[in-house]
Structure 1
């Protein structure tokens, strides 16, 4: 997110603290699954993002990642299959007229392939997520479309061992 994106929509009240878990779901072709959506308060602000979301009260990051993965993709795994987080970050962003400060943990899961099932979406997801796609890392690195987190191509290359293009 650019500084302009952060400051333009900054709410006057303090950011709400939120914890989240996200999954880097990578198939046997080395593609990562991303969802496409938008902010309801800013319908023109469209972006691609990893499956995952906010943790419920008392939920651990790995348990939240397992739950979110099942809800958003239909893929059911155990916490042991996800293992430990591979990356963490804290981001601030607006969504639906509110400002959030979110600490998020990312987990890496490799699958041979997966047919995405979005029937587990909740109401806000049904209203704001309009597509999903398996992205090759090289294409993700060069797309003019907005992708969160912006460091995703570099992170995926580091985690999967894919070389940077020459």
Structure 2
């Protein structure tokens, strides 16, 4: 069974070449090449908490609901990730999905909902789910129950397009 004890820490944000590699998709989005990522990535704009400056991060889409124009993303670096904290301060923002911009509002999902999302994600992308859990220091035995439990520790955010939502 996956669990998280109090000594487990979220991974530190990347530095050096690893940070540069993770930021490469931002350049693709800026060049109008967002459609290359299909429905797997989106570009999130977020205002810096201290500076108010526009920041951007490319995030994997964990779940996409076209009828509701709703995207769910996970914070692989936990609740201390800058983009996550910035959205807490200012949940209304913009994303780019493909080449199309959307005004969205962030909704921070409770652990039970995160557990369900992670279990569904693991069924669709088992290897990626195992890597994400290992990266975050969450033990899984590859069973649905262990992914369900791991999902309770991962901060998930649903981004609903203006005029839509649940």
Question: Shared fold by TM > 0.5?
Answer: no
* TM-score between the two structures when normalised by the length of structure 2: 0.29
Structure with higher strand content: 1
Structure with higher helix content: 2
* TM-score between the two structures when normalised by the length of structure 1: 0.29
